[in-house]
Amino acid sequence: MPRESASRTRRPRARPPGASGVQLGEAEARARVLAGAARVFSKTGVRDATVQDILEVGGVSRRTFYRLYESKEDVVVALYRMGTDRLIEECRSGMAKETDPIKQIQCCVDAHLGNARDVGRLVFVLGGEAQRQESELHRWRMETHERLVNLLMSTSTARKANIDPLLVRGLVLALEGVTRIVLEEGDEGRNVTEASMKRARRVMVRMSTAAFAGKGRGVEPLPTLD
């Protein structure tokens, strides 16, 4: 009896659960990978997650994944940059609708807190990763800070007063820090309450408005470059 050829006896490779086997367009494939990665990272964190985890949750094949990304780290960066780009755009959009510098700053505060409310767990995970200097996300975090500083420095108050950008950079760090405290207290972003959001907003608005507009007895003059 003739031996069967290898092509007839080879079993088809199993697809990840949810994968259809149909070639996906690039936009849909990227959306599936990023959505799957967001769910995986939110559940297990970045370092414990694997590409296989992303494939299974996103419903894409390994071949599709590596057609778009070189590694898990590439996906981490893509997710982080998508979130920070959204933050910057929300700040810019909100500020464009206001002429009062204080209200412009409040728009940035609300954008930070909106992220924490909508995707708190993912913000906590990726934000923690970005604080590690050895992480690829760290430089993107620093770039985001610079973009936020430039945006806040574009307000009429900052331009007219010639404010020292170091003050604004410190404010950005403070806003980031308060947001992270809220997430930590909310079970690391899993259970962020409306009350904690309101509390954080009061604190963040106080810090930001006082930094730009605070004056009076015993208050240091606004630091400028003059």
Domains of the chain, residue spans: 23-69, 73-213
User: What confidence score (pLDDT) does residue 37 get?
Assistant: 98
Cβ count near 62 (within 10 Å): 15
CATH number of 73-213: 1.10.357.10
CATH number of 23-69: 1.10.10
Report the chain's mean pLDDT, rounded to a whole number: 88
Q: Place 4 in a pLDDT band, splitting at 50, 70 and 90.
A: very low
pLDDT digits (tens, 9 = 90+) for 109-149: 999 999 889 999 999 999 999 999 999 999 999 999 999 99
Burial class (CB in 10 A: 0-12, 13-18, 19+), 68: middle
The predicted model gives 194-210 an average pLDDT of 93
DSSP letters along 96-142, please? HT--SHHHHHHHHHHHHHHHHHHSHHHHHHHHHHHTSTTSTHHHHHH
Q: Place 11 in a pLDDT band, splitting at 50, 70 and 90.
A: very low
- Euclidean distance between CA atoms 88 and 94, whole angstroms: 10
Q: What is the CA radius of gyration of the chain?
A: 23
| 3 state DSSP class of 224 | strand
CA–chain centroid gap for 72, Å, is 17
Residue 19 has pLDDT above 60, yes or no: no
Residue in 120, 146, 117, 143 with CA at minimum distance from that of residue 130: 143
User: What confidence score (pLDDT) does residue 210 get?
Assistant: 86
- Euclidean distance between CA atoms 142 and 96, whole angstroms: 24
